Structure 1
Amino acid sequence: MQARLVFVHGIGGLRDPARELTVWTRALASGMRAAGHGAAARDLLSGTSGGPAGHVFVHYADLFTRGQAQGGDVLGAPGAAGAAALEDAAEAEILSELLVAWVDGVAAGHAERSDERDRRILDHARAQARPRAQEQGSLAVVRRALNVATTLLALKPWGGAARWITPKMMVSHLAQVARYLARGEPDDQGVSLDRRIRARVCEAIGNGPAVVVAHSLGSVVALETLHQLAAPVPLLVTLGSPIATRSVVWPRLLPQPPSVPGCIGAWLNFWDRDDIIAVRPHLERELRPSDTGVTPTSRRVDSDGAWVHDAEKYLAQPAVAGPVAEALAAAAGGAGSGGGGG
């Protein structure tokens, strides 16, 4: 039986799901060819590898939009200074904790390769990230977050990313993590934001089998969703995941204590040392095995450029795409697993 390929995106603004499906599929196919799975790449691009329903891109960024925000920017207009981003104290508290964990994680990742300039930047970012006794309300937290993001984006190699990754954009993305973990924002039926997001992933996976590829915040969403499902998932792939952010994300995962869902056959977690989001990459140290003994396996990849958190950069890595090709082939009974050219 063929497995459906389910992509789950992470932090970021509004997307065109059809376009994103094409972009992610092409990046993964490129990685498959580089890994020697040319036939699997052709199947993927032709839409056959995901079975009759095809592969699917789960889109949920629209659920983060609010009345004050336009174009998917959860911080709203510049003059609003973040009023649309955080509506209650719980969200502000989580964002505040994320700032400290983010700076600590970045500092740990730079420990062996920082020069004096980077060390000064990190010291300054630490000072900015610490909550202040006189700080009042979510607006003050957002302003502090903007200061920290501005400072961290001056680090090598991320300074070059300032052309397209602004501090405001970074903070809006972190705010999405805070809002998801706050478990609030009920709709007219009383369904919280995080539950509405997971419902979309549940719908995409269906009765399975499914190979799930989840990026960034999407890895948290996928982990929690798979605990709700019995559908077989022969392979979960997580990319640039914040799951192991011990002081913030890890203690808020559902269910507790964090563990591998029983429906997963294997879990591969990929991280890049220059990924500003995946600051604690070794998930196998932080999650209990499933009842069948499955644990995450974390592997480092190295991408070029100033901004390596993009899903497409991960997907194009042979180390990422090869196991996906093999999992899809195994689910289909071995068809299409060979190289067959590129």
Structure 2
Amino acid sequence: MFVHGIGGIRDAERERRAWLEALAAGARAAGHADVVSGLTQGWLADVRFADYSDLFTDPTAQGDRPTDPDGRQDAAFLEEFVEALVDELARQAEERGDRRAWAVTEDARAQLPRGDGQTQGVAAPVRVLGRVLTTLLQLPGLRGSAQWASGLPLLGQLSQVGRYLARREADGSGRTLDERIRERVLRGTDPARPLIVVSHSLGTVVAFEALSGHHGPVPLLMTLGSPLATGAAVLQRLVPRPPRTPDRVERWLNFWDRDDIVVGRPRIRNWMLPNASGVLPVTARVDSDGVWVHTATKYLRQPAVAGPLVEALKK
């Protein structure tokens, strides 16, 4: 099962094919050319793309801006989340001795909301955070990204993480947004059959929480470009608390790219409790080419990602 992350409305079948094609390319590079046709033609595994993107649609919202009733909870989360991203990117730049990247992050830090009460209303800090992200998009690996001309659209999509974790936005049945998303993701899964989960971005948070209530075997959970390790902004809002590897997960592989703006340092193993079988996430770094590496297909084309995934499918 593929679980997508932040972004707009999805075409589930088109994206399922795109993810499979990227995985096939990664499998070939990893020495598994024998499974390429099985992946693209669908006989190696029954693959579903769990699409919950429409649940973020709000007909009263303007563009991609946060959409809670008064905006304050979204703005508070985004301030915390963006500050955590700045801190992590600055730390990485310092460790690499990359003065240019460090200068960009310090410029972004200087623009963060001051928290002194002088910035009035909700729209003002949102605009400020948009400028902070616009500055971060000047980092090597992100500069020139066609997907994000400025930080404000990116901020709007990052706000989906906060909306999910807010545990509100109930529908007519009283189910909150996060409950409806998890139900959508698990719909049609059979606890009697093994379930391999490949999740990306916000989808890693959704998959983690959904699998905590899943009773079937999960031979492999794969998290790509995950914000799970973003300290208080995300990790401390997870359910269950304290967070632990879902009980039925037999193996958890976590991949991150240094130039992925959504990913903090992969501290998940240090902050996650093991399940009864002792399973903890194992993290590895990959390096993608080109701009805007925060896409599932960039990760799936990596041999280090595709290799163990294909091996799990073969079993």
Instruction: Name the TM tier (shorter chain).
Output: over 0.9
CA deviations over 1:212-264 (Å, ceiling 9, x no partner): 00001100000000001111110000001010111210100000001100110
Partner residue, 1:183:
167
Worse-superposed segment, 22-31 or 122-131: 122-131
Partner residue, 1:168:
152
Q: Give ranges in structure 1 of 5+ residues lacking alignment.
A: 1-5, 76-81, 331-342
Question: What SS does structure 2 have at the residue aligned with 1:158?
Answer: coil
- Note the 1:22-101 alignment, pairs <5 A: 22-50=17-45, 54-69=46-61, 73-75=63-65, 84=67, 87-101=70-84
- Note the 1:128-277 alignment, pairs <5 A: 128-132=111-115, 133-161=117-145, 163-166=146-149, 167-207=151-191, 208-277=193-262
Residue type at the aligned position of 1:34: A
Cα separation, 1, equivalents of 2:163 and 2:143: 27
**How far apart are 1:13 and its partner, in Å?**
1.0
Residue type at the aligned position of 2:118: Q
Partner residue, 2:7:
12
Question: What SS does structure 1 have at the residue aligned with 2:75?
Answer: helix
- CA 85–303 in structure 1, closer or farther in 2 if over 3 Å, else same: farther
Q: Please say if 1:296 is aligned against 2:278.
A: no
Partner residue, 1:3:
none
Residue type at the aligned position of 1:262: D
Partner residue, 1:286:
271
Partner residue, 1:325:
310
**Paired positions, count:** 312
Partner residue, 1:112:
95
Cα separation, 1, equivalents of 2:20 and 2:257: 20
CA deviations over 1:46-86 (Å, ceiling 9, x no partner): 11122xxx21101111111111347xx422xxxxxx6x477
Cα separation, 1, equivalents of 2:300 and 2:69: 32
User: Does the 8 A contact of 2:204 with 2:226 survive in 1?
Assistant: yes
Cα separation, 2, equivalents of 1:172 and 1:192: 20
With structure 1 as the length reference, what TM-score do the two structures score? Answer: 0.87
- CA 106–200 in structure 1, closer or farther in 2 if over 3 Å, else same: same
User: Does the 8 A contact of 1:232 with 1:263 survive in 2?
Assistant: yes
Cα separation, 1, equivalents of 2:70 and 2:200: 26
Cα separation, 2, equivalents of 1:174 and 1:68: 19
Question: What SS does structure 2 have at the residue aligned with 1:111?
Answer: helix
- CA 118–280 in structure 1, closer or farther in 2 if over 3 Å, else same: closer
User: Does the 8 A contact of 2:201 with 2:262 survive in 1?
Assistant: yes
CA deviations over 1:260-300 (Å, ceiling 9, x no partner): 00110100001111111111223211101111101100011
Residue type at the aligned position of 1:47: G
Cα separation, 2, equivalents of 1:64 and 1:131: 30
Partner residue, 1:333:
none
Question: What SS does structure 2 have at the residue aligned with 1:214?
Answer: strand
Residue type at the aligned position of 1:303: S
Identity %: 47
Please tell me the root mean square deviation across aligned C-alpha atoms, in Å: 1.7
User: Does the 8 A contact of 1:96 with 1:131 survive in 2?
Assistant: no
Worse-superposed segment, 34-43 or 20-29: 34-43
User: Does the 8 A contact of 2:225 with 2:255 survive in 1?
Assistant: yes
Worse-superposed segment, 211-220 or 167-176: 167-176
Residue type at the aligned position of 2:277: T
Cα separation, 1, equivalents of 2:263 and 2:69: 23
User: Does the 8 A contact of 2:113 with 2:119 survive in 1?
Assistant: no
User: Does the 8 A contact of 1:31 with 1:317 survive in 2?
Assistant: yes
Cα separation, 2, equivalents of 1:181 and 1:43: 37
**How far apart are 1:164 and its partner, in Å?**
2.3
Cα separation, 2, equivalents of 1:187 and 1:131: 35
**How far apart are 1:29 and its partner, in Å?**
1.0
CA deviations over 1:126-150 (Å, ceiling 9, x no partner): 1222443222333223112111111
Give the number of the structure with larger relative contact order, counting CA–CA contacts within 8 Å between residues 6 or more apart. Answer: 1
Worse-superposed segment, 174-183 or 34-43: 34-43
Cα separation, 2, equivalents of 1:216 and 1:30: 21
Residue type at the aligned position of 2:184: R
User: Does the 8 A contact of 2:228 with 2:268 survive in 1?
Assistant: yes
